[in-house]
Structure 1
Amino acid sequence: MSHTAHIPSHRKPRRRSASTMALRAGVAGGVLSTIAVAGAAGPAHAEPVTETIEMPLISPEGLSHSIAQSAQAQQQVAFDLELQAQEDAAATKAAQVAKTAKAEAVRQAEADKAEAKKREQAEERASRTAERTQLAQATNASSSSESSNDNASSGSSSNSSSNSSNASGSVGTVIAFLKAQVGDAYVMGATGPNSWDCSSLVQAAFRQVNIDLPRVSQDQSTAGTQVGTSNLRVGDILYWGSAGSAWHTGVYIGDGKYLDAANPSKGVVIQDLSGYPATGAVRVL
């Protein structure tokens, strides 16, 4: 025992305030109430937890394999996309090449057609030139023969016979000239040698036998003797429209046919008079 044990403590005991004691009493009461409520609300018999959930373990090898598969799949997708792009580009290029080839083929075909047409036209012109040369030679020969006949003839009866022979030869010359122009183009206002309108062709034909006809259809329809259409002879000038205001002319060549520079789509042609009857006719030979 300490030698000071018998000495009463000189320290005064601490006095707790009423508020502190009340606070502590309240806290203790609240804790006890909470325990009581929890005990009443809890299950009468709580069962212990015996099942555990284990997290899957991934080995380093498995993780590496998964990563490799993912990378391979991405590479395959990229390869497929690139291949598809190459195929699309090739298809586009092939279509463009085919389109270009087709356009070139069409252009070449048109060029060949135009060249063939030029050759055909050149051949036709050469043929007409040859026919005109022969016609000129025949006309000159006919004129020489007629001149000899005139010199050998005497008297009025002989002169009449010569005039008749001259008329027959002149008609043949006119018809031969007209037939040599078949196939020429029709061009309004043209006067030859490879394109005509209706009245310029008639005028040029009769000029071959030194008959000077008016230039236009209206005047040609009154240039000779009116003979109608029921008593036609080869060489008569046919007209469509009334005399003095006709709008088209041609020449009767026999067998119910006539020759004219018809229109731009036909050119110079031989046609059947029954298909397009003339209004009237005049005779100048």
Structure 2
Amino acid sequence: MEESLVPLVPMSHTATAHIRSHRKPRRAGNSSLAMRAGVAGGVLSTLAVAGASSAANAAESTTQTLSLPALTADLAAQIAESADATQQAAANYELQAERDAAAAKAAQEARKDLAEAKQKAEAKEKAEAARKAAAEAAVSRSVERATLSASDSGSDSDSGSSSASSQVTAPASGSVATVIDFLKAQLGDAYVMGATGPNAWDCSALVQAAFKEVGVDLPRVSQDQSTVGTEVSLSNLEVGDILYWGAKGSAYHTGVYIGDGQYLDAANPSKGVVIQDLSGYPATGAVRVL
């Protein structure tokens, strides 16, 4: 079938004015597309800004997260160092305080020891002076006895009696006080079996040394010391009497009566040289040599 061709007739301007133009819809469509593109661009821009902001925040957060442990570790180290320094200072202060206390105690003990040593030295000096005086007096009496003996026409027995008497006789003046002063000067010394001074004694050695200060030579051991001089009753004791424990002739301990119911002796290793009450440890007997 053949198509019929319709001849084109030119329209007037008036006629075409009432025909709707097809360009405007195209322009409208372009505007809509542009609007959509703008909206999309705005959205993309917003997302880009938000993404950049999130990235920046994430970076900043990461930086802070990495920095905080370092700062915390430094602070902990500083605190630990400060605590160590404080503890060390406290320990040093405590140590110094202990040293000061020990030094003060040592100084106090040294002063006490010095005072005791000085007192003991003074007592020994007095005892030595008394011993010399007693020795001089003894010599003087010996001279007197020799003079009397030479002029006396008495028997040999009288002379023998005088000689025997001189073995246990000491100067009467001050002799007992000298013995007691010597004994008290040894207070606090140690007891050691067999020791004879000057800082440690056994019982009989101390008694022997005390009476030697006034020129009386006593036997060394307790058994023999219990047999010298004159036997006296325990109810009639005088200062300076020698006390013994055990049977006469086999005594195992000796000491010296110092008055007021007390005696002085080198007691035992735990006590040393002490003053004790006779009522607490009654003696068996007593002898008098002064």
Q: Distance in 2 between matches of 1:118 and 1:186?
A: 23
Give the counterpart letter for 2:59 in structure 1. Answer: I
Q: Which residue of 236, 241, 250 maps to 1:236?
A: 241
Q: Distance in 1 between matches of 2:218 and 2:96?
A: 52
Give the counterpart letter for 2:244 in structure 1. Answer: Y
Give the counterpart letter for 2:105 in structure 1. Answer: K
1:67 matched to 2:59:
yes
1:80 matched to 2:85:
no
Structure 1 segment 143-182 matched on structure 2, within 5 A: 143-144=135-136, 151=144, 166-167=171-172, 169-182=174-187
TM-score (norm 1): 0.63
Q: Distance in 2 between matches of 1:92 and 1:243?
A: 75
Q: Which residue of 243, 250, 254 maps to 2:255?
A: 250
Q: Is the 8 A contact 1:125 1:194 kept in 2?
A: no
TM-score (norm 2): 0.62
Q: Which residue of 197, 201, 205 maps to 2:210?
A: 205
Give the counterpart letter for 1:130 in structure 2. Answer: E
1:277 matched to 2:270:
no
Give the counterpart letter for 1:98 in structure 2. Answer: A
CA RMSD of aligned residues (A): 3.7
Give the counterpart letter for 2:129 in structure 1. Answer: Q
- SS at 2:265 equivalent: strand
Q: What residue is the counterpart of 1:117 in the other structure?
A: 109
Deviation at 1:60, TM superposition (A): 0.8
Q: Distance in 2 between matches of 1:261 and 1:146?
A: 28
Structure 1 segment 81-120 matched on structure 2, within 5 A: 81-120=73-112
Aligned residues: 228
Deviation at 1:68, TM superposition (A): 0.9
**Cα deviation digits, residues 234-257 of structure 1 (max 9, x gap):** 212223344455443210011111
**Cα deviation digits, residues 168-224 of structure 1 (max 9, x gap):** 643232122212323434444432223333222111001112222233334434445
Q: Distance in 1 between matches of 2:272 and 2:215?
A: 25
Q: Is the 8 A contact 1:258 1:273 kept in 2?
A: yes
Q: Distance in 2 between matches of 1:143 and 1:214?
A: 19
Structure 2 stretches of 5 or more lacking a match?
Answer: 1-45, 155-161
Q: Write 1 or 2 for the structure with the bigger share of helix.
A: 2
Higher RCO (CA < 8 A, seq sep 6+): 2
Give the counterpart letter for 2:201 in structure 1. Answer: W
1:133 matched to 2:138:
no
Q: Distance in 2 between matches of 1:110 and 1:187?
A: 31
Question: Measured at CA, do residues 186 and 237 of structure 1 come closer, stay the same or move farther in structure 2, by a change above 3 Å?
Answer: same
Give the counterpart letter for 1:248 in structure 2. Answer: H
**Cα deviation digits, residues 54-112 of structure 1 (max 9, x gap):** xx955211221132123213322332233223322332343234334433432443344
Q: Distance in 1 between matches of 2:216 and 2:267?
A: 22
Identity %: 54
Structure 1 stretches of 5 or more lacking a match?
Answer: 1-55
Give the counterpart letter for 2:64 in structure 1. Answer: Q
Question: Measured at CA, do residues 67 and 197 of structure 1 come closer, stay the same or move farther in structure 2, by a change above 3 Å?
Answer: farther
